[in-house]
Amino acid sequence: MNDRTQYEPVIGLEIHAQLRTRTKIFCGCSTAFGAPPNTQVCPVCLGLPGALPVLNRQAVDYAIKAALALGCDIQPQSIFARKNYFYPDLPKGYQISQYERPLALGGGLEITAGGGKRVGLTRIHMEEDAGKSLHEGFPDSDRRTYIDYNRSGVPLIEIVTEPDLRSAAEASEFFARLRDILVWLGVNDGNMEEGSLRCDANVSVRPVGQRAFGTKTEVKNVNSFRYVQKALEYEIDRQIDVLEGGGRVVQETRLWDSASGRTCSMRTKEEAHDYRYFPEPDLPPLVVDAARLDAVRATMPELPEARRRRFVAAYGLPEYDAGVLTQSPALADYFEQVAAGAVNPKAASNWVMGELLRVLNERGTPIEAVPLAPAALAGLIRLVDAGRISSSIAKDVFAKMYESGRSAEAIVAAEGLAQIDDESALLAIVRDVIAKHRDAVAQYRAGKQATFGFLVGQVMKGSGGKANPKLANQLLRRELEA
């Protein structure tokens, strides 16, 4: 057995994120996913002779938004280039991308793994996506490959990190945080299965203490969120095995195969695309002036990390609650509206994280479509806080509110659910319970404290769940010890 801790992995990520524009980056074709093949195409994205690209303004604004959120320096002028290579899914024979002068440089993102660190970004550039080769699903798929150009020309940003990541766990956390931010900003839908977010990784290992990097491989085709860490762990282990076996890591591109849980060689350096870049003569330089930056900045939401911190500081919520409530801007907004109307922010958090999310999950309803207004939920919480209804009754009221849209007050009044605080009414129930459960009473009096809980339960039951629990406890104990 070799000692794997003597090796240090070095990982850098290249993340392609599809921008959520309605139309493609250089033409008016739809970007909607799942349309029949080759129905969302035109001369521009098919690369027909004479067709000219026109840059999508919204795509640029989204790219700027992502770059600002990641702390990058937006370049006042960036240049589109032609990245030439031959592949059937690339009808023009080149991809329009940015090369020497990308849209944004620098920036970074904090992670907590590895004791907490900042992972630097090298650059963010804009480019168009290629089409998709379909290798299966047709009667003659053993002989032919079909091409779908619907994806050709869909706008992407490529986010390139510095080789700052030192474990699969760090890389996985970084990617998760980056995805959260892009989705939160509304610039990407975070959907890896549909390919709108893709993560390639450059991986190498070196003996601990060595400064020079080892030979790297590029791991591609990680098409599901949960595979990012697995694919990297596999590749790190594989490289260590190669070195420990006295071999040398070959610089190559490797594909992750989720079925076998392995990476396998796709092409070596000798077979790699020999890209030639030229400036794109059909597009002027992309100029981003201060006014445009300000305009995009004005549309920036408070970012998840900042919002989490504010929820802890301003509402006194535990870190855990703040993390759950800031899963999406809509959920965070909902919570804040409930908290504004409720007396107690922690109670508001408990209701939103508890009953509300449970019902939404059960029914597959997104928070954006929740039928219960935040002010109505706040009304229910106020009734509980004021001792007007018990928390178990409140759950029933919640269910009725969710179905009917009626207010908590109205349901409580109409159904006579208000808590019983009247001592003489409760005492009658307590005495009734004592008379009916002589065995339990005798056990309690003989010193078996556990029966007390049973008797309280009987009192609650006898009151239809409406007894003030504190008062019921007091009265029961008093009667039992009399």
Which CB sits closer to Zn ion, 46 or 303? 46
- Give Cα separations from 319 to 109, 112, 121, 305, 313 (angstroms): 20, 14, 27, 11, 10
**Sole window of 21-29, 51-59, 279-287, 353-361 interacting with Zn ion (rule: CB under 5 A):** 21-29
In 10 A of CB 191, how many CB atoms?
A: 14
Nearest residue to 166 via CA among 116, 215, 129: 116
Question: Does residue 398 sit in helix, strand or coil?
Answer: helix
Name the residue nearer to Zn ion (CB basis): 56 or 326.
Answer: 56
Q: Which residues of 400-416 are buried (b: 16+ CB within 10 A; e: fewer)?
A: bbbeeeebbeebbeeee
- Residue 286 and residue 54 in contact, taking contact as beta carbons nearer than 8 Å: no
CA distance 83 to 279: 9
**Cβ nearer to Zn ion, comparing 90 with 384:** 90
Nearest distance from residue 27's CB to Zn ion, in Å?
A: 3
Q: How far is CA 53 from CA 26, 44, 46, 127, 286, in A?
A: 5, 6, 11, 12, 13
Judged by CB, which is closer to Zn ion: 29, or 429?
29
Residue for token pair 């690369």: 47
378 binds Zn ion (CB under 5 A): no
Rounded Cα distance between 286 and 274, Å, is 26
Number of residues in contact with Zn ion, rule: CB under 5 A? 5
What are φ and ψ of residue 56, in 5° steps?
-75, 115
Q: State which residue, 51 or 373, has the beta carbon closest to Zn ion.
A: 51
Nearer to Zn ion, 149 or 398 (CB): 149
Question: Rounded to the nearest whole angstrom, what is the least distance from the CB of residue 35 to Zn ion in the complex?
Answer: 13
Q: Which residues pair with 252 in a beta bridge?
A: 268
Closest CA to 376 of 414, 416, 403: 403
Restricting to residues 24-83, which ones interact with Zn ion according to CB under 5 A?
27, 29, 42, 44-45
| Minimum CB distance to Zn ion, residue 128 (Å) | 10
**454 phi-psi bin (left φ>0, alpha ψ -120 to 50, beta other):** alpha
* Rg of the chain taking only CA atoms, in angstroms: 30
- By beta-carbon proximity to Zn ion, the closer residue of 94 and 398 is 94
Q: Residue 56 CB, nearest distance to Zn ion (Å)?
A: 11
- Which residue's CB is nearer to Zn ion, number 45 or number 339? 45
Of 54 and 300, the one with the shorter C-beta distance to Zn ion is 54
- Residues forming contacts to Zn ion in the complex (CB under 5 A) are 27, 29, 42, 44-45
